[in-house]
Structure 1
Amino acid sequence: MGPPDRGGPRADAGGGPVVGAAADPLAAKVRTLAPSMTRSMLRVAEAVAADPAGCAALTVTGLAELTGTSEATVVRTARLLGYPGYRDLRLALAGLAAQRTSGRSPAVTSDIAVDDPIEAVVAKLARDEQQTLADTAAALDTVQLAAAVQALADARRTDVYGIGASGLVAQDLAQKLLRIGLVAHAHHDPHVAVTGAVQLGSGDVAVAVTHSGATADVIEPLRVAFERGATTVAITGRPDGPVAQYADHVLTTSTARETELRPAAMSSRTSQLLVVDCLFTGVTQRTYATAAPALSASYEALAHRRAPRPRPSTR
């Protein structure tokens, strides 16, 4: 996924398949993009994710018949998953089938019931968090990640936008960058965000954090920054969402299925924080000569703010 044309909004929010992911990238991508698929497209996507070997042996007509859809739906699904056409999807499925180990156990359901004991809640939440992190790692485009890391490392100033739960993630990224001596600001007030975005330009970076990819109060300052010439980054669970139109680099996050007792904001924040940690670690690596002393100085500055350890009792 290359940078969008700086002359206008991004035309294509999709990206190529992730190579070398630690987890199953196709299954992760299907879970991430499921909310944006039609029912017929979802049938195709779930079929190829569940049986890559079997589907790789089918023609476009055969897969359409297997899923009760049309050839056009199969091709649209392939493109949404990041492949130029069905032939490319078949090749990827064949490669994925060869990589998968036999005897893989199916996913464990993690629905939380109202009467679940707290032990079961802990276990189910832990499984969901692990799956969310694995899906995010699998779907994360490392080329885009590396480009975003370099932009942050070179930035004169970084502004991060987020609302609600995503606002907490925006604050986390900004304070991490501050700890290594970089100039960074987190904005959760949309008016202040736009006011700050007007001041950005070439050499600056703007980061939008929005799981839905459609939060207007986050998209607007990113659009302003984009049009002012700043490098723009979107951390989102919907790489096909409106926010991607104004993002040079799109970092896709995953989320566990939302349930009544577990809102999407919980799992989306987990995946967003993983991306933030990846960005921060990458930037620290590239700026280590200045980052290491800055980290040490911040630790020393905060040391006197910590409560002293209690003295051992003499009784």
Structure 2
Amino acid sequence: MGDGAETKQGILARIRWMSAYMNPALRRIADRVLKAPEEVKSISIKDLATQCEVSESTVTRFVREIEVTNFQHFKILIAEELSQGLGGGHLTTDRHVYEDITEKDDTASILSKVTARYAMTVADTRAGLSADELERAVTAIEDADVIGFFAMGASLICVENALLRFMRVGKRCLFFRDLGIRQISTSTLGPKSLAIGISNSGRTISTVDSLRDAKVQGATTLCITSFPDSPIVRHADISLFTPTVTGVIGSGEYHESMVSKIAQLQVIDVLYSLYAVRNFGSAIEGLVRTSDVMSLTRY
């Protein structure tokens, strides 16, 4: 990402996001930083290493892992972010109706903020998705006799997109809007099935429970979330992380990111495209066949 990336995405958001892919030693450092960044901004590298039970060289490796030039620069970035109020997961005096939009914003400001937030989300999602995890996810899609989707709220938009994409290329998909039937549907899944749970916070009870129950039934499980420390990850064989984290410090329960749907849609479209390319012949046949059906719905 280079030095310019620090202004594109907050350093604390990046740490929380990237920590999902770190080894245990680096993850301890990430957890310590996120727990009390106001302390870390003035700590020595020796003290941080001692608190995390790692060597100073491991702290240096952590700093490089998050693509910051050195430890001193790392502390400066944290201090700047905290001083600007970008890292806190606590409520401020301004109430926000959409990400960082308040009652003080006018039309031009809102247009600029929403557009910039969307562009940032797309770029950060592209930068942070794990190629290895994407490959595992596509293999699971290929091997599945049926894909069961589980989501609520804004994440339903992602499910609707996924249904359209994968059903058009011949994959059997399962999704019920009724919460009770959706919970029951997990009993129909088995070792040849794939259950996909989508939740930005990773804490939506029905989605987490559905993925857990599907795993008990022997299904392969996949989650799409922004929080690597959320409950849904514990029940997922494959995890794909999106960077749309607003309350970086503190619990993922703070609130759902309003632009999480953009990252989720991007992930689904990447998975669909990878699957379609791997199965090009059958995918084209499916698109042609469903195009004939869809043409009947248009003048």
Question: TM-score under structure 2 normalisation?
Answer: 0.72
* Paired residues of 1:159 and 1:185 also in contact (CA < 8 A): yes
1:122 aligns with 2:111: yes
| Aligned with 1:146 (options 96, 115, 135) | 135
Taking the aligned partners of 1:86 and 1:202, their CA distance within structure 2 comes to 45
| Aligned with 2:153 (options 164, 176, 191) | 164
**Corresponding residue number in structure 1 for 2:286:** 294
Taking the aligned partners of 1:296 and 1:269, their CA distance within structure 2 comes to 28
Taking the aligned partners of 2:56 and 2:216, their CA distance within structure 1 comes to 35
* Paired residues of 1:129 and 1:267 also in contact (CA < 8 A): yes
Deviation at 1:170, TM superposition (A): 1.7
Note the aligned Cα RMSD (angstroms).
Answer: 3.7
Structure 1 residues 131 and 60: CA distance shift in structure 2, 3 A: farther
Which of the pair has more CA radius of gyration?
1
Structure 1 residues 230 and 304: CA distance shift in structure 2, 3 A: same
* Paired residues of 1:211 and 1:236 also in contact (CA < 8 A): yes
1:42-53 mapped onto 2 (5 Å cutoff): 42-43=36-37
Deviation at 1:40, TM superposition (A): 6.5
SS where residue 240 of structure 2 aligns? Answer: strand
* Paired residues of 1:222 and 1:246 also in contact (CA < 8 A): yes
How many pairs align?
A: 255
* Paired residues of 1:128 and 1:256 also in contact (CA < 8 A): no
| Letter of the structure 1 residue corresponding to residue 46 of structure 2 | V
Structure 1 residues 87 and 249: CA distance shift in structure 2, 3 A: farther
CA deviations on 1:156-213 (whole Å, 9 max, x unpaired) are 1000000111122122212211011110122333322222211111121000001111
1:60 aligns with 2:46: yes
Taking the aligned partners of 1:89 and 1:173, their CA distance within structure 2 comes to 40
| Letter of the structure 1 residue corresponding to residue 201 of structure 2 | S
Structure 1 residues 33 and 145: CA distance shift in structure 2, 3 A: closer
* Paired residues of 1:30 and 1:46 also in contact (CA < 8 A): no
**Corresponding residue number in structure 2 for 1:208:** 197
Deviation at 1:146, TM superposition (A): 1.1
Deviation at 1:237, TM superposition (A): 1.2
CA deviations on 1:31-77 (whole Å, 9 max, x unpaired) are 6489x9678734179859xxxxxx9xx6432x47xxxxxx32x45xx
**Corresponding residue number in structure 1 for 2:60:** 90
* Paired residues of 2:16 and 2:227 also in contact (CA < 8 A): no
Give unpaired runs (5+ residues) of structure 2.
20-29, 71-79, 87-98, 248-254
Deviation at 1:292, TM superposition (A): 1.1
* Paired residues of 2:145 and 2:192 also in contact (CA < 8 A): yes
| Letter of the structure 2 residue corresponding to residue 153 of structure 1 | E
1:9-48 mapped onto 2 (5 Å cutoff): 27=11, 28-30=13-15, 32=17, 41-43=35-37
Taking the aligned partners of 1:45 and 1:305, their CA distance within structure 2 comes to 60
Deviation at 1:254, TM superposition (A): 1.8
1:235 aligns with 2:224: yes
1:281 aligns with 2:258: no
Give unpaired runs (5+ residues) of structure 1.
1-18, 49-54, 65-70, 76-83, 100-105, 308-315
Taking the aligned partners of 2:174 and 2:121, their CA distance within structure 1 comes to 27
* Paired residues of 2:45 and 2:59 also in contact (CA < 8 A): no
CA deviations on 1:234-260 (whole Å, 9 max, x unpaired) are 1111121111111000111121537xx
* Paired residues of 1:180 and 1:291 also in contact (CA < 8 A): yes
SS where residue 223 of structure 2 aligns? Answer: strand
Taking the aligned partners of 1:143 and 1:257, their CA distance within structure 2 comes to 26
